[in-house]
Structure 1
Amino acid sequence: MEVENQQPTKGVKPPLESEVQDAVDQTGFGKFHYKLFVICSMVFMNTGLGASSSGLIVPAASCDFKMRTEDKGRLTAAPMLGMVCGSYFWGCLADIKGRRTALLAALFLDGCAGLTSAFVPNYWVFAFLRFLNGFAITGQSAMIFPYLGEFQPKRLRETILCWLEMAWTAGIIMLPLLGWLIIPMTFRYTSENFSFASWNLFVLICSLPALSFSAVLLFFPESPKYLFEDSQDHRAMQILARMYAENSGKPAENYPVKFVRSGGDPLEAKLAVVSNDGLISPVKIKRRKKLLGKMLGDIVKHTMTILRPPYLTITLLTSTIQFAMTAAYYTLMSWFPELFRRFAEFEKENPDSSAGICSLSFVMPVANSTTVDVVDEFGCETKLQGSVFLYTIFLGLACIPTSVWLPLCIGRLGYRFFLVVSTVFPGAAAVGLFFVTSSTQNLIVSCIFEALTSMGVSVVYCVLVTFYPTHLRVIAASFSALCGRSGALIGNLMFGYLLDLHCIVPIAVVAGLLFFGAALTFFLPRKAKLEKTDSTPVMN
């Protein structure tokens, strides 16, 4: 059976992006997408576990590593430094080997580094392994949105990606629950050069999800959009036919699309719909050899593309907003458990007194001025109060309403509305930290901050998937991640060094960054305007 291809309008060359998106839309939405969403949610949940774990590990490991506040700051900053260094690496790997391969490598590295760090007795080796954890986590968080998004029908992509926020919320709820169950245990195995306590077990268990999810991901395919870009047309068509069969319950050969690549230009392509009574087999195209030098050249080329019109405005705005939001979010998120611990200790020692966050650092040493307590400056005789874990759980629970609100309403309210809400109100909450005088007040303000900023970070990733075509999407996500993680690194180092010396400065900086990000949001172009400037981006 022969089917005549529809000819494009004279003088207009149909981009591969829109043609392939039509082919993805023809697969429908069903069983395959549900399974894919589950595994992608598990991966994103793991990033929530990994990104938040330092907040519980640092106070628990303080005695074993003899950490002062600046040491804690370095340890919480180590994963952030890894995230900065890994941002572009994973983008390069995803373009050379594919999104799925990059995700598998990131998960495996995360699991192995976490597993090894559970048995390391040296502070600096442990910090290096935490660096590797951060290096791997940024690969998961940057790749999961493009990978999941490239399988989705155009009409549902934005909503499906927003539902991933619920997985992040599940991760930051599970983490303190797991910590509360394990860290207060009193067991400890000690030998001459080795020690294994409850917090080591906590680190070990936190490493297992990454290894488990990497094994499950082996059963899922590569992004068909990436495969088309890589000239692996036959393999891409097999995946699309599999998606169609799982979603519709019909035989794969009934998939109503064929792909024919014509001409020497790899982006010149046509897709034709055929009847269900026959399928023209897709032409198998010889895969282009991917030389590393050429691929690195393409990375530089694509980076320069997103830094030139018509993408320049979007790139600069989204990257700066990402810097502001991620710096604020990861800085306070990593230090909330430490602040909860300080309030809990102060209120235990001074039940009839009150103190603000900035005065705790000065009040506590006065209250603990005995010789015994000076010896215990690393907290060896201090156990984490149950309220620290409970309050950290409340932080996660506070994210549930926003995690549901975002995917249900983003289609009506738009991404700009959510970005403004995710910056203005958390900025006000950061200012409110100056006025809290009890652990309860601190908890309320922290929950507002956590719920809204975590939502905003996900919105930025959704915007990136929406505004860039396949061949630029990963680079744009990597560039944005590089900016965001750089902000997180700077913020954590700043907080660790200044919290006990000039407490007002880091909190004021966090609030200022969020208000600055809110102002930039109003300069983001509307979708309609972007479509007029260039027809390549895929817009919802």
Structure 2
Amino acid sequence: MGVGSRQRVKDDDGLLGSSAGLAHFRSVENKIQNAVDQTAHFTGFGKFHCKLFVISGLIFMNTGFGVSSTGIIVPSAPCDFQMRTVDIGRLTASPMLGMVCGSYFWGCLADMKGRKVALLAALFLDGFAGVFSSLVPNLLAFTCLRFLNGFAITGQCAMLFPYLGEFQPSNVREKILCWMEMAWTIGITVLPLLGWLVIPMSFRYTLGNFSFASWNLFVLLCAVPSISIAIALLYFPESPKYLIDDGQESRAIEVLSIMYAENTGNPPEDYPVKCIANSDDPANAMIVNGGDFVASEKLKRKKKKLVKMVKDIYEHTLTILRPPYLTTTLLTSIIQFSITSSYYTLMVWFPELFQRFAEFEKEHPSQSATVCDVSEIKPINVSLVDSVADFSCNEKVQSSVYIHTIFLGLACIPTSIWLPLCIGQLGYRFFLVFSTAFSGAAAIGLFFVTSSTQNLILSCVFEALTSMGVSVVYCILVDFYPTHLRVIAASFSALCGRSGAFLGNFMFGYFLDVHCVVPIAVVAGLLFCGGLLSMCLPRRNVDPGKEERKSASN
């Protein structure tokens, strides 16, 4: 291919900025994709994929623990940390800020060291930050460690879907990824059960300024799964698609051989593919069964250095922010912002709202009240910047708080089953529009509830639909972008979504007690906006590189 001064193409280690260069890079990417898809055909689909699905489900369940655990802690921790509502807002926002800061870090690490390495680092960091946060004696240290938890959680969320998806045959990839929603549902259902068992315990160990109560034990127990899952993940391989893309052909063959052996029961050496190369034509195809074809061009790239990796991240980000990816990137990012900010904001604050409803109905059994009425149950009749002495403390969390939070998780089960079963027939756009429109209506309905039961019903509808919407966005990112842009696209989308979650939690803490209408109205408006934009998404399985190749050929 000839190149001029305006269509300069770097070597395979570089990035391609021109139209012809992008087309060439996409061509190489397509060869890698074709090679992986063809070799995956020989591995079959069986035991290995089941084991991978289980460990991936545990990771996603663990992210549900991490995101929702702060909401379970909030009704119990104010007495120890002397928190006002605004302090609660800062605490709930700190993991979200960690997610914002971690979005690009994990993408860089995954491209430089691999999907598995990034997942391991995120899991171990999450676990150890959780252990230390159960032991610290003051709010500032606890908030900083929750920031690290959020930093690690975003690594698990962003890397899990590419890692799991890159092992799957293309014909089942979408359904497998959608079934991850069930793992999240199990996580947010089991967590309040654990909280109900542990937090009501009446023990407290005190030594000087150090205090360890039942809610500290709950935080400690939430950290155990991260470390345990990380140890189990050590026995799983790196994504073969990443290994091929990174030029580690021999390691990719080893991984594929292991998959073949576990799925078929045959010895690994019987795996028929011995070499992976350019598979666009018979002259450059895979070497099968010892040499039916001869490979003339290997798809290899040098190991990436840190400085170059940062440059690659920058260049890849520019790539997804210009045609032909620009429209898709903007749409998915805004939709992610809308759904994630709404979901993570109310998800974290629902237990606090349940607690306020329970306290109100206990003190006023014959009266009805709206969400905004019960928000005044914690007296904030002083300036938000007043001394920490002006806080409300209730040692006992009502048991109905845990029961209602469990119902939130159970409400997600029907949508978790519906999504993977019907995504192929109805399409992702249907699910996005459906989830955002009806969850937005549920958010508006919160203004009209007059009892804790009505509040619970609308909260369950909101939780189930927005949870489904978040999962759909993660799935379509795998489908819309090629391998070399997939992690960056997921990281950029996560950055937008977590930024919304951070702002939403911060906003809730400031406005809930004084202008309750504002945060709920903003949540509903964002969801309706996300639904409208969902209708503009391109059809699935579109090839963004088609236009580039057409332009290059002209």
Answer whether TM exceeds 0.5 for this pair: yes
2:371 maps to which residue? 357
Q: Quickly say closer, same or farther: Cα 1:276–1:245, change in 2 above 3 A.
A: farther
Distance apart, 1:47 and its partner CA:
0.1
2:185 maps to which residue? 169
Q: 1:456 aligns with which of 442, 461, 469?
A: 469
In structure 1, how many angstroms separate the alpha carbons of the residues matched to 2:262 and 2:357? 53
Q: 2:105 aligns with which of 89, 98, 113?
A: 89
Q: Quickly say closer, same or farther: Cα 1:12–1:405, change in 2 above 3 A.
A: closer
- 1:299 and 2:313 correspond: yes
Paired-residue identity, %: 67
Distance apart, 1:170 and its partner CA:
0.5
- 1:444 and 2:478 correspond: no
- 1:65 and 2:81 correspond: yes
- 1:403 and 2:434 correspond: no
2:533 maps to which residue? 520
Q: Residue type of the partner of 1:61? A: A
In structure 2, how many angstroms separate the alpha carbons of the residues matched to 1:39 and 1:238? 20
1:313 maps to which residue? 327
1:34 maps to which residue? 50
| 1:425–1:452 contact (8 Å) kept in structure 2 | yes
| 1:179–1:389 contact (8 Å) kept in structure 2 | yes
In structure 2, how many angstroms separate the alpha carbons of the residues matched to 1:90 and 1:123? 27
Q: Quickly say closer, same or farther: Cα 1:276–1:284, change in 2 above 3 A.
A: closer
Stretch moving more, 385-394 or 247-256: 247-256
Q: 1:250 aligns with which of 266, 280, 283?
A: 266
Q: 1:207 aligns with which of 223, 247, 250?
A: 223
Distance apart, 1:192 and its partner CA:
1.3
- 1:289 and 2:303 correspond: yes
- 1:195 and 2:211 correspond: yes
Per-residue CA deviation, residues 429-473 of structure 1 (Å, 9 max, x unaligned), is 000000011100000000000001001101000000111111111
SS at match of 1:120: coil
SS at match of 1:155: coil
In structure 2, how many angstroms separate the alpha carbons of the residues matched to 1:522 and 1:297? 34
SS at match of 2:75: helix
| 2:158–2:494 contact (8 Å) kept in structure 1 | yes
Q: Quickly say closer, same or farther: Cα 1:534–1:103, change in 2 above 3 A.
A: farther
- 1:348 and 2:362 correspond: yes
Distance apart, 1:23 and its partner CA:
1.6
| 1:310–1:533 contact (8 Å) kept in structure 2 | no
| 2:43–2:257 contact (8 Å) kept in structure 1 | yes
| 2:29–2:484 contact (8 Å) kept in structure 1 | no
In structure 2, how many angstroms separate the alpha carbons of the residues matched to 1:271 and 1:473? 25
Q: 1:20 aligns with which of 33, 36, 39?
A: 36
Q: 1:389 aligns with which of 402, 406, 414?
A: 402
Q: Quickly say closer, same or farther: Cα 1:279–1:53, change in 2 above 3 A.
A: farther
Q: Quickly say closer, same or farther: Cα 1:14–1:197, change in 2 above 3 A.
A: closer
In structure 1, how many angstroms separate the alpha carbons of the residues matched to 2:507 and 2:408? 23
| 2:278–2:298 contact (8 Å) kept in structure 1 | no
- 1:128 and 2:141 correspond: no
Distance apart, 1:319 and its partner CA:
0.6
In structure 1, how many angstroms separate the alpha carbons of the residues matched to 2:236 and 2:292? 27
List aligned pairs for 1:75-114, cutoff 5 A. 75-114=91-130
**TM-score normalised over the length of structure 2:** 0.89
| 2:77–2:215 contact (8 Å) kept in structure 1 | yes
Distance apart, 1:291 and its partner CA:
1.3
SS at match of 2:333: helix
Distance apart, 1:133 and its partner CA:
0.2
Q: Residue type of the partner of 1:294? A: K
SS at match of 1:400: helix
2:232 maps to which residue? 216
| 1:255–1:279 contact (8 Å) kept in structure 2 | no
2:7 maps to which residue? none
Q: 1:183 aligns with which of 180, 199, 203?
A: 199
In structure 1, how many angstroms separate the alpha carbons of the residues matched to 2:456 and 2:91? 24
RMSD: 2.7
In structure 1, how many angstroms separate the alpha carbons of the residues matched to 2:121 and 2:284? 33
- 1:328 and 2:342 correspond: yes
Q: Residue type of the partner of 1:398? A: A
- 1:274 and 2:281 correspond: no
SS at match of 1:71: helix
Q: Quickly say closer, same or farther: Cα 1:13–1:442, change in 2 above 3 A.
A: closer
Q: Quickly say closer, same or farther: Cα 1:478–1:532, change in 2 above 3 A.
A: closer
Distance apart, 1:257 and its partner CA:
2.3
Q: Quickly say closer, same or farther: Cα 1:156–1:199, change in 2 above 3 A.
A: same
SS at match of 1:195: strand
| 1:258–1:280 contact (8 Å) kept in structure 2 | no
Stretch moving more, 73-82 or 287-296: 287-296
| 2:60–2:184 contact (8 Å) kept in structure 1 | yes
Q: Quickly say closer, same or farther: Cα 1:365–1:57, change in 2 above 3 A.
A: same
| 1:259–1:271 contact (8 Å) kept in structure 2 | no
Distance apart, 1:26 and its partner CA:
2.6
In structure 1, how many angstroms separate the alpha carbons of the residues matched to 2:72 and 2:190? 12
2:505 maps to which residue? 492
Q: Quickly say closer, same or farther: Cα 1:376–1:352, change in 2 above 3 A.
A: farther
In structure 1, how many angstroms separate the alpha carbons of the residues matched to 2:254 and 2:297? 12
Distance apart, 1:288 and its partner CA:
2.0
| 1:424–1:514 contact (8 Å) kept in structure 2 | yes
Distance apart, 1:287 and its partner CA:
6.8
1:3 maps to which residue? none
In structure 2, how many angstroms separate the alpha carbons of the residues matched to 1:282 and 1:437? 73
Q: Quickly say closer, same or farther: Cα 1:364–1:212, change in 2 above 3 A.
A: closer
Distance apart, 1:421 and its partner CA:
1.2
| 2:260–2:271 contact (8 Å) kept in structure 1 | yes
Q: 2:487 aligns with which of 465, 474, 490?
A: 474
SS at match of 1:102: helix
Distance apart, 1:237 and its partner CA:
0.9
1:230 maps to which residue? 246
Q: Residue type of the partner of 2:318? A: M
SS at match of 1:190: strand
Q: Residue type of the partner of 1:435? A: F
Q: 2:518 aligns with which of 481, 484, 505?
A: 505
Q: Residue type of the partner of 2:485? A: L
Q: Quickly say closer, same or farther: Cα 1:117–1:528, change in 2 above 3 A.
A: closer
In structure 2, how many angstroms separate the alpha carbons of the residues matched to 1:495 and 1:449? 17
Q: Residue type of the partner of 2:85? A: T
Q: 1:431 aligns with which of 415, 427, 444?
A: 444
Q: Quickly say closer, same or farther: Cα 1:118–1:408, change in 2 above 3 A.
A: same
Question: What 5-or-longer segments of structure 2 have no aligned partner?
Answer: 1-26, 382-387, 550-554
In structure 1, how many angstroms separate the alpha carbons of the residues matched to 2:284 and 2:508? 54
Per-residue CA deviation, residues 200-249 of structure 1 (Å, 9 max, x unaligned), is 00000000000000000000000111111110010011101111111111
In structure 2, how many angstroms separate the alpha carbons of the residues matched to 1:531 and 1:230? 22
| 2:277–2:286 contact (8 Å) kept in structure 1 | no
2:3 maps to which residue? none
| 2:123–2:226 contact (8 Å) kept in structure 1 | yes
Q: Quickly say closer, same or farther: Cα 1:305–1:376, change in 2 above 3 A.
A: closer
1:5 maps to which residue? none
